[in-house]
């Protein structure tokens, strides 16, 4: 085998080496320049509350709600499975006393719930805190981005494993969700179009009924014990510790989910209930409420918005034995 391009003259070689060095410098420089530009863009978008991931809007809404709300005895935190299902007014009417819902979204995960509990406890002390999360939450990644977004809390190193700590700090502003959210948010702001308006205490759910196809099963096929992320209990343990320290009754309930997922995920449900109990929380054993397909909205964890009152009542019945 011959290699013709070895036989170049020394002057040609140094010229090629020079252009290669310039090339490498431009390649590395271009990469760094773009990453820095994107990070600065994300940072500015975050500072101006323009990042529109699912969803900073709801975080700000809930923080504002908390700042002006009167103390309540029962506080609900969780993700969109709670937000799409829970009607604060209906609950208060059924329970005979006011309750507050501070649902965020799946992006924030358990970290977001922890953040909202800490924020709420700065204002008042409820008797009961109910966490409601989507059934598949334990299969998702550790919500470090949710943690950073829902800041400020105690320092990151105390809670998160070393590798995540490093990458979270380094990559937060370069995360594709954050960057995409920043771009979307800035574009919407530029054209003056509001995204994801708040309706009945949560992000407006789309006007689609039964939009989840009977085979849109990707979300629940992962409901298998081997898919549980062992890191997910990190924030649950923090919540349990906080509840124990403050003497608050903290309950964990799974949000409503497509009936097919209830069937497919029975072994998974048992396994995560054990994990959640081990983390120090009480699991509402009657949850989740299994939803027939026609009652679903746009995901297998969201009920149709016209059914909010019905599901709020259903969860009241389901949680009544656990409430103080």
Partner 1 sequence: MLFNSISFLFVFLPVAWLLFHVAERAGLPKLAIGVLIAGSFVFYAYWNLAYVFILGGSIFANYLIAAHLDALAGLRTLSRRLVLSVGIAANLGLLGWFKYSNFLVDEFNRTTGTGFELAHIALPIGISFFTFQQIAYLVDVYRRAGFDSSLLRYCLFVSFFPQLIAGPIVHHREMMPQFGRGRSGRIIRDLAIGGTIFVIGLAKKVIIADSMAVPADLVFDGAAAGLAPTLIDAWSGALCFAFQIYFDFSGYCDMAVGLARLFGIRLPMNFASPYKATSIIDFWRRWHITLSRFLRDYLYVPLGGNRSGPARRYVNVFITMVLGGIWHGAGWPFAIWGVLHGILIVINQGWRHWQASRATDPQTGRTQISAMRMPVGIQRAAIFVLIVLTWVPFRAADAGAMTLVYAGMAGLNGISLPAAFAPVAGLLPGIVDPPGVVFDGLAVDPAQILLWIPALLCLVWLCPNSMEIMRGVRPIIATKGYPATHLSRSSPARPARFRPVWLLRPRFALATGLVLAVCLIQFNDPSRFLYFQF
| Interface residues toward partner 1, by CB under 8 A | 1, 5, 13, 16-17, 19-35, 38, 141, 167, 171, 174-177, 179, 208-218, 221, 264
Least CB distance from residue 247 to partner 1, whole Å? Answer: 39
Closest CB to partner 1 among residues 283, 300: 300
Helix (H) or strand (E) holding 47: helix 10-47
Yes or no: say if 90 and 308 are a contact pair by the CB < 8 Å rule. yes
Helical pair 56-68 and 109-121, crossing angle rounded to 10 deg: 20
What dihedral angle (degrees, nearest 10) is formed by the CA atoms of 40, 41, 47, 53? Answer: -130
Note whether 57 and 108 are within 8 A (CB).
no
CA distance 260 to 237: 30
Smallest separation, CB 278 to partner 1 (Å): 26
Residue 74 — left, alpha, or beta (φ > 0 → left; ψ -120 to 50 → alpha)? beta
DSSP state of 97: S
Query: Nearest approach, Cβ of 214 to partner 1 (angstroms)?
Result: 6
Q: What is the CA radius of gyration of the chain?
A: 24
| CB-CB contact of 59 with 108 (8 Å) | yes
- First CA to last CA distance, the chain: 82
Shorter beta-carbon distance to partner 1: residue 17 or 267: 17
Closest to partner 1 by CB, 20 or 244: 20
Give least dist CB 184 to partner 1, A.
15
Shortest spacing between CB 231 and partner 1, in angstroms: 13
Number of residues that this document lists for the chain: 324
What is d(CA 70, CA 66) in angstroms, rounded to the nearest whole number?
8
Compare residues 77 and 300 and give the one whose CB is closer to partner 1: 300
Note the Cα 278 to chain centre separation in Å: 22
Nearer to partner 1, 211 or 318 (CB): 211
Closest CB to partner 1 among 49 and 141?
Answer: 141
Task: Using the minimum distance from each CB to partner 1, give the nearer residue, 42 or 287.
Answer: 42
CB 211 within 8 A of CB 298: yes
For the bound state, the minimum distance from the C-beta of residue 212 to partner 1, rounded and expressed in Å, comes to 7
Residue 85 structure tokens: 């299902």
Least distance to partner 1, CB of residue 176, Å? 5
Cβ neighbours, 10 Å, residue 42: 22
Under DSSP, the state recorded for 171 is: H
CB of 317 to partner 1, least distance (A): 31
Closer residue to partner 1 in complex, CB, 65/169: 169
Smallest distance, partner 1 to C-beta of residue 17, A: 6
Name the token pair of 72. Answer: 């309540």
Residue with smaller CB distance to partner 1, 31 or 324: 31
């Amino acid at each position: 085998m011959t290699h013709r391009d070895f036989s170049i003259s020394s002057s040609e070689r140094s010229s090629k080496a020079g252009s290669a060095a310039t090339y490498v410098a431009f390649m590395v420089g271009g990469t760094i320049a773009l990453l820095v530009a994107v990070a600065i863009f994300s940072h500015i978008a975050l500072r101006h509350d323009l990042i529109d991931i699912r969803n900073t809007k709801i975080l700000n809404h809930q923080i504002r709600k908390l700042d002006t709300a009167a103390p309540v005895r029962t506080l609900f935190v969780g993700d969109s499975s709670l937000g799409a299902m829970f009607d604060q007014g209906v609950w208060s009417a059924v329970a005979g006393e006011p309750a507050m819902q501070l649902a965020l979204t799946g992006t924030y995960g358990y970290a977001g719930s922890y953040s909202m509990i800490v924020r709420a406890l700065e204002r008042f002390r409820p008797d009961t805190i109910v966490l409601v999360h989507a059934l598949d939450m334990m299969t998702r990644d550790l919500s470090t981005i949710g943690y950073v977004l829902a800041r400020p809390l105690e320092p990151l190193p105390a809670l998160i494993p070393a590798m995540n700590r490093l990458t979270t700090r380094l990559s937060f502003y370069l995360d594709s969700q954050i960057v995409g959210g920043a771009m979307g948010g800035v574009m919407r702001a530029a054209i003056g179009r509001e995204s994801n308006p708040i309706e009945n205490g949560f992000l407006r759910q789309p006007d689609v009924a039964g939009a989840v196809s009977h085979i849109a099963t990707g979300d629940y096929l992962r409901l298998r014990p081997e898919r549980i992320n062992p890191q997910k209990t990190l924030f649950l343990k923090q919540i349990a510790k906080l509840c124990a320290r403050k003497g608050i009754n903290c309950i964990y309930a799974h949000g409503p989910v497509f009936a097919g997922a209830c069937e497919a995920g029975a072994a998974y449900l048992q396994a995560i209930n054990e994990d959640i109990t081990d983390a120090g929380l009480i699991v509402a054993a009657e949850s989740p409420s299994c939803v027939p397909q026609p009652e679903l909205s746009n995901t297998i964890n969201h009920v149709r918005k016209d059914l909010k009152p019905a599901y709020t009542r259903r969860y009241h019945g389901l949680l009544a034995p656990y409430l103080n």
